Structure 1
Amino acid sequence: MRRILFLEDEPTIREVLAEYMKMQRYEVTEACDGDEAVALLKSQNFDLAVLDIIVPKRSGLEVLAYIRQEYPDMAVIMLTALDDEQTQVKAFNAYADDYVIKPVSPLILLKRMETILRRTTHNRTSPGIKDQTDRAEQGLSIDQDAYQAYYDGQALPLTLSEYLLLSTLYQEPQRVFTREQLILRIFNEEYIGNDRIIDAHVKNLRKKLPMNLIKTVIGVGYQYASPGEKDGRN
């Protein structure tokens, strides 16, 4: 059974969403403030943390920073009413796997959780799940079933949003995507905020990729850049 840490200070929201999680056979441990969440992290093991940001004591972003320092492989979803671009960029720069804005349909949240857990579970159990011939492929390869990208057979430590962005560009290398088109591919129609969030994801991807595989097309957006092409920032 997957273990979920759910940080939410509003009792009604916490009770309703936790009940939906339990109906899907998740084992849910609830926390109402950031200090309690950190204490639970120190004493128990979790597969996924769902964190509100504005909570008493330590904020959800501070709990996220603690998780990334102490438990870097743990999946994290930020669940918050804050829809401003600055906060979202800050969360993704801290390597949150997803950012979900309240109010949210419980079913949508559960789908996001399922997708992220499927990807992170694959990472922990590799290389047995994926065929070794595929894993030995040189350059970039994409495993769409596991939501995982590889470079020269090595798994890349991407968040879900980073993976979806890279996969979108990789699958249509001749196409130039606008930021708005990429937002629809990553968040569907649930994202509220400035399209410059895509720039933050590209910046993080460029740090994680062994070479720059994303070309900036000035005035339009982004395109996949095959190895050997001129620097994609041009």
Structure 2
Amino acid sequence: MKKILFMEDEPTIREVLAEYMKMQNYEVTEVQDGEEAVKALEGCPFDMAVLDIMVPKKNGLEVLSHIRRQYPDMAVIMLTALGDEQTQVKAFNAYADDYIIKPVSPIILLKRMETILRRSARTPVQAEHGLVIQKEAYQAFYNGKTLELTLSEFLLLQTLYERPTQVFTREQLILRIFNEDYIGNDRIIDAHIKNLRKKLPQNCIRTVIGVGYQFDASQETCGGK
């Protein structure tokens, strides 16, 4: 049974979403502020944390930073009413796996959780030269080693990798990653590209000035087998 840490200071929202999680056989620990979250983390290993940002004492971003220092492999979803670009960039720069703007459908939240937890389950892969994408496992590998990508980074890389001849605009990439859920500036894609380039063995993503981004399969380490 997967263990979930759920931090939300609004009692009604917390009770409803926690109940949906439990219906999907998740073991849920509910907390209402950041100090309670940090204390709960000390006593129990979790598979995932779902963190509201605007909570008392330590906010969600502070708890996220604590998790990344102490439990770097834990999956984290930020759940918040803040839809501004700056806050989203902060969350993704701190390696949040996903960022969901409230109000959110419980079903959508559960699907996002399921996807990230499936990706987090490490799947052994036979060593292959270059970049390998496992679409079903939501994982990318280089020479058989896992690339530690967030869900958004993986979807961005997958989109570019599968169509190396196409130049994607930022708007097209947003639709591929967030569907129609995203509210904010399309420059969020630039932040994802910056983080993705840091994690790739070689810069496989080409900037097409005035248009967007394209996968550069000409790079030796990016071409796969």
Shorter-chain TM-score range: over 0.9
Provide the C-alpha distance between the structure 1 equivalents of 2:218 and 2:191, rounded to a whole number of angstroms: 22
Query: Would the aligned equivalents of 2:204 and 2:219 in 1 still touch at CA under 8 Å?
Result: no
The alignment status of 1:50 with 2:50, answered yes or no, reads yes
Per-residue Cα deviation, 1:56-97 (whole angstroms, up to 9, x for no partner)? 000000000000000000000000000000000000000000
The alignment status of 1:181 with 2:200, answered yes or no, reads no
| Letter aligned with residue 34 of structure 1 | G
1:190 aligns to what? 181
Deviation, structure 1 residue 152: 1.3
Provide the C-alpha distance between the structure 2 equivalents of 1:223 and 1:205, rounded to a whole number of angstroms: 13
The alignment status of 1:4 with 2:1, answered yes or no, reads no
**Local SS of the residue matching 1:57:** coil
Provide the C-alpha distance between the structure 1 equivalents of 2:78 and 2:84, rounded to a whole number of angstroms: 13
The alignment status of 1:90 with 2:90, answered yes or no, reads yes
The alignment status of 1:165 with 2:156, answered yes or no, reads yes
Structure 1: segments with no counterpart, 5+ residues: 230-234
Query: Would the aligned equivalents of 1:211 and 1:227 in 2 still touch at CA under 8 Å?
Result: no
**Local SS of the residue matching 2:214:** strand
**Local SS of the residue matching 1:215:** strand
Deviation, structure 1 residue 228: 3.0
1:148 aligns to what? 139
Residue-pair matches, total: 220
Deviation, structure 1 residue 153: 1.2
1:79 aligns to what? 79
More RCO (CA 8 Å, sep 6+): 2
1:138 aligns to what? 129
The alignment status of 1:106 with 2:97, answered yes or no, reads no
Equivalences for residues 219-234 of structure 1 within 5 A: 219-228=210-219
The alignment status of 1:203 with 2:190, answered yes or no, reads no
Deviation, structure 1 residue 227: 4.4
Provide the C-alpha distance between the structure 1 equivalents of 2:138 and 2:63, rounded to a whole number of angstroms: 25
Q: What TM-score does the superposition give when structure 1 sets the normalisation length?
A: 0.92
Provide the C-alpha distance between the structure 2 equivalents of 1:228 and 1:45, rounded to a whole number of angstroms: 40
Query: Would the aligned equivalents of 1:79 and 1:101 in 2 still touch at CA under 8 Å?
Result: yes
Q: Where has structure 1 moved over 3 Å in runs of 4 or more?
A: none
1:13 aligns to what? 13
Overall identity of the aligned pairs, in %: 75
Provide the C-alpha distance between the structure 2 equivalents of 1:85 and 1:228, rounded to a whole number of angstroms: 32
Provide the C-alpha distance between the structure 2 equivalents of 1:140 and 1:227, rounded to a whole number of angstroms: 12
The alignment status of 1:64 with 2:55, answered yes or no, reads no
**Local SS of the residue matching 2:194:** helix
| Letter aligned with residue 138 of structure 1 | H
RMSD: 0.9
| Letter aligned with residue 167 of structure 2 | V
| Letter aligned with residue 195 of structure 1 | D
| Letter aligned with residue 43 of structure 1 | G
1:23 aligns to what? 23
Deviation, structure 1 residue 181: 0.5
Provide the C-alpha distance between the structure 1 equivalents of 2:7 and 2:151, rounded to a whole number of angstroms: 20
Provide the C-alpha distance between the structure 2 equivalents of 1:199 and 1:152, rounded to a whole number of angstroms: 26
Q: What TM-score does the superposition give when structure 2 sets the normalisation length?
A: 0.96
